[in-house]
Amino acid sequence: MMTRFVLPVTTVITAVISLVFYDTVARLVVIAGYGVLAIAGTLAIGIGFFGSWILAEKVRMIRARRIEAEKSAHVMVVSDNGQSWVRDTDPRATWRNLTDTPQLYVNGKQTMPADWEIELHRLKLAAMAQTRTAAQVIPGNATLLPEPTIMPLDLLTVFTQPTQAYAIIGGQQTGKTWQARHIATYWVQQGIKPVVIGPKWDKGEWGGCYLIGGGGDMAALEWGITLVRRLVEQRHAAPMAHKSHPIQPIFFDDWTPIVDAVPNARALVLEATTLYASVNVVLYFILHSDTANAWGVDRKGAALKDNFVKLFIQPAYDDTGLILRRQTQGVVRFAGENVDRPVKLFTTPPPALTAPVIIPTPQAEPSQLEAQVLELHRQRASLREISQAVFGDGKFGKYWNDKIKQILNNYGVSSE
């Protein structure tokens, strides 16, 4: 009897408890499920992040090892005349010329090459003493080639382009004029007569060219520069297109004494790549390396650094300091660049041409101011009277008298 009563009661109580706590149990189950999912997600993200970090570190280590290997790798090229050119294996690296002595001369400045350059050069000399039948591998993954892999630039191709301005730079007696005469000879062979303005030249130089100056005649140099300025002014004023004017090469040999003797000559350097080159008047400045450096060939923003195509002539010296002319080297630096590119220099004299056409100090058509000076002098006015009439009241004295005398001398009129 008692058993029959207890079993139904227990069943009822169990059912009541289940109904009362059902929602709580369900919530606990859901919360437990979300917890498991959160823990699993966190573990997955952590494992993924850790794995990617390990992979990135491995890539960085491989890249670092490759960079270190490249730093110790250098390439040397030996040309057919024994000259050496070295650089890092990075194709963007600059080629440097290595001479036969430990000193490295660049633009007249002496620097010491790096240890790896000296070692490469030593290995080059050792290899040249042997019969070169194949490329030889040397330390640092560098290869000594039996033939050059970079072709030197052709000097005439580079230095005979219109709308450019050029500078030929080198030390004393390094062959600046020698190279320039080859360029001038090229123009003569094309039917164009270059103009050469300079204080002096040796007999037989500049065949086929118009020569202005010589014999230390500084007055003729000033007249020649004035003549060139007027030619450019006329071309700019002409109705025809600027680039349609005929090419007129003009060489200044050498520029250093010219700029010292002729007032306002320095402006030609600034005007060369704009006013002159734009109307096909091609200027060649032959100047000493010391002067070029003083004018900013190595300074950013200077005309000679940014605007000119430059040929640097670099002599080689033996152990006693004597110049080795057969080993003279040259590099070209293009406008706006700081990369020295090897160029094949001329080693033989230019072919014989007709005798130079020497232009005497001429009776050029005077400007308005010059004509006024000449007319007042013809009327026997004194230097003081001419000076005040031409230059203004109060403008008299030695400075103004010298300007008047220079104008008179330019037209062959005695100032006495």
What DSSP string runs through 118-182?
HHHHHHHHHHHTS---S-EEETTTEEEESS-SSPPEEHHHHHT-TT--EEEEESTTSSHHHHHHH
CA distances from 157 to 148, 153, 161, 343 (A): 20, 8, 7, 11
Closest Cα partner for 209 from 231, 243, 183, 240? Answer: 183
* Structural domain boundaries in the chain: 1-43, 74-145, 153-358, 368-410
Closest Cα partner for 119 from 82, 91, 84, 92? Answer: 84
Q: Give the mean model confidence (pLDDT) for residues 170-190.
A: 91
Tens of pLDDT, residue by residue over 38-58, are 787 788 787 877 777 787 777
Show the tokens assigned to 139: 């330390």
Q: Give the mean model confidence (pLDDT) for residues 138-157.
A: 61
Amino acid 20: pLDDT: 57
Q: How far apart are CA 373 and CA 404, in angstroms?
A: 7
3-state secondary structure of 229: helix
Element (H, E) at 51: helix 2-71
Q: Write the DSSP symbol of residue 325.
A: E
Show the tokens assigned to 399: 């400075």
Q: Is the bond preceding 23 in cis, omega lying within 30 degrees of 0?
A: no
Q: How far apart are CA 206 and CA 56, in angstroms?
A: 67
Predicted confidence (pLDDT) at residue 141 exceeds the cutoff of 80? no
Show the tokens assigned to 228: 């060139």
Amino acid 10: pLDDT: 63
Q: How far apart are CA 290 and CA 297, in angstroms?
A: 10
Predicted confidence (pLDDT) at residue 291 exceeds the cutoff of 60? yes
43-57, 61-75, 278-292: which range is least confident on average? Answer: 61-75
Q: How far apart are CA 121 and CA 86, in angstroms?
A: 9
Closest Cα partner for 243 from 285, 270, 196, 276? Answer: 276
């070692």: which residue's tokens?
Answer: 119
Show the tokens assigned to 91: 């194709």
3-state secondary structure of 373: helix
């006329």: which residue's tokens?
Answer: 234
pTM, two decimals, is 0.55
Q: Give the mean model confidence (pLDDT) for residues 280-286.
A: 93
Closest Cα partner for 148 from 70, 73, 83, 74? Answer: 83
Query: Which one has a higher pLDDT value, 32 or 120?
Result: 32
Q: How far apart are CA 105 and CA 118, in angstroms?
A: 14
Q: How far apart are CA 243 and CA 258, in angstroms?
A: 28
CA distances from 365 to 230, 270, 314, 374, 407 (A): 10, 26, 43, 12, 12
List 145's β-bridge partners, or say none: 77
């499920």: which residue's tokens?
Answer: 33
pLDDT classification of 343: cutoffs 50, 70, 90: very high
- CATH fold of 153-358, please? Rossmann fold (3.40.50)
Q: Are 85 and 150 in contact (CB under 8 A)?
A: yes
Q: How far apart are CA 14 and CA 35, in angstroms?
A: 29
Predicted confidence (pLDDT) at residue 292 exceeds the cutoff of 90? no
Tens of pLDDT, residue by residue over 365-384, are 677 888 888 888 888 888 88
Predicted confidence (pLDDT) at residue 393 exceeds the cutoff of 90? no
